[in-house]
Amino acid sequence: MDTSRSYLEPSSFSKKLAATIIIVYAVVTLIPISWMVMTSFKNVNSAISYPPEVFFEPSLEGYVNLFTNRSRQSKEYLDSLPPPDNWYEELVRSREMVITGPSKFLGRYSNSMIIGFGSTFASVFLGALAAYAFSRFKVPLKDDLLFFILSTRMFPPIAVAVPIFIMYRKLGLGDTHLGMIILYTVVNLSLAVWLLKGFMDEIPREYEEAAMIDGYSRLQAFFKVVLPQAMTGIAATAIFCMIFSWNEYAFAVLLTQFNAQTAPPFIPTIIGEGGLDWPAIGAGTTLFLLPVMIFTIILRKHLLRGITFGAVRK
Amino acid sequence: MSQIKIVNLQKSFGDFTAVKNSNLKINDKEFFVLLGPSGCGKTTTLRMIAGLELPTSGEIYLGDEEVGMLRASERDIAFVFQLFALYPHMNVKNNLSFPLKMQGYTRDEIKTRVEEAAKLLRIDHILNSNISSLSGGDRQRVALGRALVRRPKAFLMDEPLGTLDAEFRELMCLELKKLHLDIGATTVYVTHDQLEAMSLADRIAVMDGGEILQADEPAVIYNKPTTKFVASFIGSPGMNFINIDQGISNEQSTLNIEGTNFTIPKQHEVSKGKKNSFGIRPENLSLTNEGGLKGSVFGVEYLGSRKIVTVKTNVGEIKVKTDISTNIKLKENIQVKPSNNNIIIFDGETDKSLKSEFIN
């Protein structure tokens, strides 16, 4: 009998099976994403060619179209122009168009950044303070309050869209960064409080007691001793909050138009001349995907520890 | 350094009173141990001295200052936790300098003090290590170091050796004692381990049910316990108690148990109740063939240098500590009698020891 292997370790067959399942699953989920990324590097014609082209000559046309506004011009007019100054000008002119200015994409994208990171920071910061209070202090009606906080999450947010729309208009918060940050923070806060309370509960009180005896106030102890130890929880919570605010579409459509419009309602409006400009849409969604992906990869180490945190008592 | 005094200290959590009307005076430079079973209020008392709990009523003096309602950070005491509570996100050096940073010392002063403490505790070689890489003993030393660097008015320790294994605990016990002799700091130490208490303490306070039952030197606590609980809690095995179903009169000096007359210390207190008991430690008893309480051997335990013989008598099981050379077999018929006059009569109503020639 082979005794070199622990009984707890999976056999090589089940390892292979698991690997196969994971690979198949990964391929299935990655196909649409890789198709999207590929589309962003195609030109307008190869994007809609049939049968679809898997191998194609890469082009940055989608990205150029995403970042610029263009107008179609006559051949004579184009010929009368001086030679193009740069590669993207040249690319646009080969399609018988000229660049008339930058598109709104960059502005929408930075709105998404400001609102996404702003509301994530606010949710995590406020959530951590509330979670700490719930975890450590005798709060009257603690259980009811916690349930109330959770119950705000049970309500589909879109059900209150009309009241919020009217409220925001009266308060002058409609189409402002602050308004969107507040709105997303409110939605995320319940999740943040609950997630972080779990993490805070796991941190022994002795740490902050030690800090308080060492001469620190409770708030100082919270920042210097409790928060660094709740880092895994904070990372996990931040990712969840970020994903929500980054992807949120319905309220963004309803409440923002010019000033604070985020990328999700903007991307579908990228319509080229004479049909949908698929490469530009592909480019927009690819760029839209990047920040959350990078954010998650940066925090991945914490996230993995965060999800399994507290599963085993030390 | 300074003395600590608690006056009429009381702490309730809802309906539950954790500490009842306690009074204590801990002298300057004393190593004082609060000893008792879990839930007796010893840790709550310590936490109130530290400022981690606020008293329901009563006063706490640190030196001449009443600190009962001050925050922990304003009291200038150091606390060593059972689980050490070393900050896991800092290395050893930062753990040690953390309390000093708050007090506005210059970088050089902090460095000097940290190195001084590290040298004293022999942890100077691990100053740059992470907490997670340390052994239990080193963590213990770092925790002590963090308390030490501040040179506080008093050290409070909550079962600091509780998580160490037995062998190491003994070693740390010795080190703690030596450290206390070196720096002469007022120390209040909480434990449920009587051996630890006996070996470390200048004085011990035994607590039960939120009350301080007796506070005295270890030898006095051991030999002259003032209550039945103290007598049974201290000592391994604890004191033997024999119910005597008779009152005690003043000047009484003999006691008849099961038809045999025993000499007891001349009593100075009267107890009319019938539920009194006769207490004697196992080492003050001897095995004999006549003139004692009749019984049979029920169990024999070898403790290396001594033997504990359990004798089943008509008045219950009695444990006798005998010499290792005593040759005794199970079920053998034997008699037990006191080998000296270290006998205490406990009042059945109050569980207190009655005053006598031996105990006052």
Per-residue pLDDT, averaged over B295-324, amounts to 91
Residues A138 and A209 in one domain: yes
- Give the span between the Cα atoms of A203 and A209, in whole angstroms: 12
pLDDT of residue B1: 61
Determine the straight-line distance between the first and last CA of chain B, rounded to whole angstroms: 33
A102 lies within 8 A of chain B by CB: no
User: Which residue, chain included where needed, has tokens 């030390």?
Assistant: A314
**Is the same domain home to A140 and A27?**
no
User: pLDDT band at A307, cuts 50/70/90?
Assistant: low
The pLDDT of residue B335 is: 92
Into how many domains does chain A fold?
A: 3
Q: What is the pLDDT of residue A195?
A: 92
- Is A50 found in the same domain as A36? no
Contact predicate A173/A179, CB 8 Å: yes
pLDDT above 90: residue A83: no
B191 backbone dihedrals φ, ψ, rounded to 5°: -155, 160
Tally: H helices and E strands in chain B = 8, 20
Do A60 and A112 lie in one domain? The reply is no
Q: Rounded CA gap, A304 and A239, in Å? A: 12
- Which residues of chain B form CATH 3.40.50.300? 4-228
Instruction: Identify whether residues A235 and A298 lie together within a single domain.
Output: yes
Residues A127 and A171 in one domain: yes
Note which residues in 229-258 of chain A have CB less than 8 A from chain B. Answer: 229, 231
A228 touches chain B (CB under 8 A): yes
Tell me if B255 sits within 8 A of B245, measured CB to CB. no
Q: Would A1 be classed as within a structural domain?
A: no
| CATH number assigned to the domain covering B4-228 | 3.40.50.300
The enclosing H or E element of B260 equals: strand B260-263
User: Does residue A313 belong to any structural domain of this protein?
Assistant: no
List the CATH number of the domain containing A203.
Answer: 1.10.3720.10
- Tell which of A69, A85, A103 closes a domain: A103
In a domain, A97, yes or no: yes
How crowded is the C-beta side of A155, counted as CA atoms within 13 Å? 15
**Does pLDDT of A311 surpass 50?**
no
Q: For the residues A52-78, what does the mean pLDDT come to?
A: 86
CATH 2.40.50.140 region(s) of chain B? 229-346
3-state secondary structure of A18: helix
Q: 10 Å Cβ neighbour count for A112?
A: 24
Q: Say whether pLDDT at B360 is over 80.
A: no
Beta carbons within 10 angstroms of residue B82's beta carbon? 17
- A157 and A88 assigned to the same domain: no
> What is the per-residue pLDDT across B9-58, written as a single tens digit (0 to 9) for each?
999 998 899 999 999 999 999 999 999 999 899 999 999 999 999 999 99
Which of B79, B131, B132 would best serve as a mutation to test chain A binding (most A beta carbons within 10 A)?
B79
A241: left (phi over 0), alpha (psi -120 to 50) or beta: alpha
ipTM over 0.85: no
pLDDT in tens, B247-260: 888 888 888 888 88
Does residue B153 sit at the A interface (CB-CB below 8 Å)? no
Nearest CA in chain B to A212: B73
Yes or no, beta carbons of B72 and A217 under 8 Å apart: no
| Shared domain check, A128 and A28 | no
pLDDT in tens, B72-113: 888 889 999 988 889 988 999 999 999 999 888 899 999 999
Contact with chain A for residue B102, Cβ under 8 A? yes
Averaged pLDDT for residues B1-6: 86
Listed in order, strand segments (DSSP E) in A124-177 are none
Per-residue pLDDT tens digits for B114-131 = 998 898 888 889 999 988
DSSP assignment of B275-332 = --EEEE-GGGEEEESSSSEEEEEEEEEE-SSEEEEEEEETTEEEEEEEETT----TT-
Q: What is the pLDDT of residues A134-147, one digit of tens each?
A: 999 988 999 999 99
Asked whether the bond before B237 is cis by omega within 30 degrees of 0, the reply is yes
Tell me the C-alpha to C-alpha distance, in Å, between residue B28 and each of B2, B76, B220. 5, 15, 20
Q: How far is CA B268 from CA A152, B249, B252, B273, B360, in A?
A: 74, 8, 8, 16, 8
At A42 the three-state DSSP class reads coil
- Do residue A98 and residue A111 come from a single domain? no
Confidence of residue A3 (pLDDT cuts 50, 70, 90): low
Mean pLDDT of chain A: 87
User: Does the pLDDT at position A283 exceed 60?
Assistant: yes
Local confidence band at A313 (pLDDT 50, 70, 90 cut-offs): very low
Give the domain extent around A96: 45-103
Query: B79 and A213: CB-CB below 8 Å?
Result: yes
Q: Does the structure show a pLDDT above 90 at B236?
A: no
pLDDT band at A312 (very low <50, low <70, confident <90, very high): very low
Backbone angles phi, psi at B342, to 5 degrees: -80, 70
pLDDT at residue A310 is higher than 50 = no
Q: Are B85 and A206 in contact (CB < 8 Å)?
A: yes
Kindly state whether residue A261 falls inside one of the protein's structural domains: yes
Fold of B229-346: OB fold (Dihydrolipoamide Acetyltransferase, E2P) (2.40.50)
Looking at the fold, whether A200 and A214 belong to one and the same domain comes out as: yes
Instruction: Name the residue of chain A whose CA is nearest to B102's CA.
Output: A215
CB count within 10 Å of CB B159 equals 20
Q: What is the pLDDT of residue B262?
A: 86
Residue A62 domain-assigned?
yes
- pLDDT, one tens digit per residue, over B176-231 is 888 898 888 899 999 999 989 999 999 999 999 999 999 999 999 999 999 999 99
Which residue of A209, A216, A229 is in closest CB contact with B102? A216
* Structure-block tokens of residue A295: 């954010």
**Shared-domain flag, residues A26 and A98:** no
**The tokens 């691990």 sit on which residue?**
B126
Task: Looking at the complex, report in whole angstroms how far the Cα of residue A292 sits from the nearest Cα belonging to chain B.
Answer: 27
Same domain, residue pair A87 and A173: no
Tokens 């939120």 correspond to what residue?
Answer: B210
Degrees, nearest 5: CA angle B121-B126-B128:
130
Look at residue A5 and tell me if it is in a domain: no
Strand partners, A228: none
Residue B134 has pLDDT above 70, yes or no: yes
Q: Which residues of B touch A217 (CB under 8 A)?
A: 71, 73
Structural domain includes residue A255: yes
Number of A–B residue contacts, CB under 8 Å: 56
pLDDT at residue B256, as a whole number: 87
